[in-house]
């Protein structure tokens, strides 16, 4: 794996790969790589002769300085993961390289980026869209891999690519979960043992939502209420939101019956750690279908890297 630190070197590496007929697959990350990231890298490696991983903790998308400071960073361990997974290029720029001066141009994706995470974390999606636009601009034509774990982020990126005619194909990869249902996230490493146990409440809430849908509930607020009740039953968790939305644009439909694809979203805080999760509302309740990746059963010891 070759590590490049500058935008120019990254652009050059991917241009060279294209010239050699190796179509690049890009996996944008903020590091602290875990099995969820590995599944993105594996999906990219299966389809591309050149896999590039970007590792950059983007200050623009953090609404709290404390959250930015706490975000786990371990470039050495990340490079080991990348080398083992056959990654060709790691782009690991400094903040100064990515933002030589505070940007006056930012990307705002209206509507799809405004509710839920957009409301709880003002400016978050502008920061995400701006850095992803910069990464895409540096990478050039490529296929980019994102996890469904950040479902709203995926919708924001897709919309930005479409609105701005970016030469990037976006591929969504399924969520990878621990055996007890917790979606893998770099933030899980920050949970205390007690909060880690309590964090399964997000998965249980999604399951309650799916059961409500399977039982014929078509009112989004009732499905959301069933999910919220589960989160509120866990004393260590504090609910940010629970919702049943149209998966295509994250709007709330009048009835779930008329909606082709319904996504359940939940966000909650455990101590200082904020977790989000989601699943297909029509995946069978109690199962992992639509809520999980192929690498379903991870043992607890593998949850970190």
* Residues in Cβ contact with 70 at an 8 Å cutoff, skipping those fewer than 6 apart: 190, 272
d(CA 110, CA 141): 24
Nearest distance, CB of residue 59 and ligand PAF, angstroms: 10
| Binder of ligand PAF out of 131, 155, 275, 283 (CB under 6 A) | 131
d(CA 305, CA 300): 11
278 binds ligand PAF (CB under 6 A): no
Each as own residue / partner, the long-range contacts of residues 154-157 (CB below 8 Å, 24 or more positions apart, any chain) are 155/112, 155/113, 155/249, 155/250, 156/109, 156/112, 156/113, 156/125, 156/128, 156/129, 157/128, 157/129, 157/132
Taking CB under 6 A as the binding criterion, the range among 4-12, 67-75, 125-133, 253-261 that sits at the site for ligand PAF is: 125-133
292 binds ligand PAF (CB under 6 A): no
Taking CB under 6 A as the binding criterion, the range among 126-134, 198-206, 223-231, 287-295 that sits at the site for ligand PAF is: 126-134
Nearest distance, CB of residue 19 and ligand PAF, angstroms: 26
Nearest CB to ligand PAF, comparing residues 58 and 143: 58
Nearest distance, CB of residue 113 and ligand PAF, angstroms: 12
- Please give the structure tokens belonging to residue 208: 């309650």
d(CA 104, CA 10): 23
Q: Which residues of 230-269 are buried (b: 16+ CB within 10 A; e: fewer)?
A: bbeebebbebbbbbbbbbeebeebeebeebeebbbbbbbe
Nearest distance, CB of residue 61 and ligand PAF, angstroms: 6
Q: In what helix (H) or strand (E) does residue 89 lie, and over which residues does it extend? A: strand 89-91
Residues 190-249 that bind ligand PAF (CB under 6 A): none
Question: Do 25 and 51 form a contact (C-beta atoms < 8 A)?
Answer: yes
Nearest CB to ligand PAF, comparing residues 253 and 304: 304
Backbone dihedral angles phi then psi of residue 271, each to the nearest 5 degrees: 60, -130
Query: How many residues touch ligand PAF (CB under 6 A)?
Result: 10
Q: Which of 37, 48, 50, 124 is catalytic?
A: 37
- Please give the structure tokens belonging to residue 178: 């621990």
* Residues in Cβ contact with 258 at an 8 Å cutoff, skipping those fewer than 6 apart: none
| Binder of ligand PAF out of 7, 14, 30, 279 (CB under 6 A) | 30
Taking CB under 6 A as the binding criterion, the range among 26-34, 198-206, 219-227, 276-284 that sits at the site for ligand PAF is: 26-34
Nearest CB to ligand PAF, comparing residues 35 and 228: 35
Closest C-alpha among 16, 18, 26, 11 to residue 170: 26
33 binds ligand PAF (CB under 6 A): no
Q: Quick check: is 124 catalytic? A: no
177: which DSSP letter? Answer: B
Residues 38-97 that bind ligand PAF (CB under 6 A): 58, 61
Taking CB under 6 A as the binding criterion, the range among 24-32, 202-210, 244-252, 289-297 that sits at the site for ligand PAF is: 24-32
Residues 136-195 that bind ligand PAF (CB under 6 A): 150, 153
Active-site residue numbers? 37
List residues near ligand PAF by CB under 6 A.
28-30, 58, 61, 128, 131-132, 150, 153
């Amino acid at each position: 794996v070759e590590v490049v630190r500058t935008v120019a070197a990254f652009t050059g590496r991917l241009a060279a790969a294209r010239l050699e007929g190796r179509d690049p697959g890009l996996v944008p990350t903020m590091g602290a790589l875990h099995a969820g990231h590995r599944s993105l890298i594996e999906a990219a490696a299966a389809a591309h002769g050149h896999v590039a991983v970007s590792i950059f903790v983007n200050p623009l998308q953090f609404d709290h300085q404390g959250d930015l400071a706490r975000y786990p960073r371990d470039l050495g361990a990340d490079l080991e993961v990348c080398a083992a997974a056959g990654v060709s290029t790691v782009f690991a720029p400094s903040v100064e390289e990515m933002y030589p001066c505070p940007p006056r141009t930012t990307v705002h994706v209206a509507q799809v980026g405004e509710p839920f995470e957009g409301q709880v974390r003002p400016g978050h999606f502008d920061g995400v869209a701006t850095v992803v636009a910069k990464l895409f601009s540096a990478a050039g034509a490529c296929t980019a891999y994102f996890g469904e774990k950040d479902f709203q982020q995926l919708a924001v990126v897709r919309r930005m690519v479409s609105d701005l005619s970016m030469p990037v194909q976006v591929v969504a990869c399924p969520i990878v979960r621990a055996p007890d249902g917790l979606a893998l996230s770099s933030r899980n490493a920050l949970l205390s043992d007690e909060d880690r146990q309590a964090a399964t409440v997000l998965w249980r809430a999604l399951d309650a939502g799916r059961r409500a849908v399977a039982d014929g509930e078509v009112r989004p607020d009732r499905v959301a209420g069933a999910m919220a009740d589960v989160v509120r039953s866990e004393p260590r968790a504090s609910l940010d939101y629970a919702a049943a939305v149209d998966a295509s644009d994250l709007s709330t439909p009048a009835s779930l019956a008329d909606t082709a694809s319904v996504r359940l979203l939940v966000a909650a805080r455990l101590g200082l750690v904020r977790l989000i999760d989601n699943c297909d509302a029509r995946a069978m309740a109690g199962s992992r279908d639509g809520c999980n990746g192929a690498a379903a059963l991870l043992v607890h010891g593998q949850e970190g890297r």
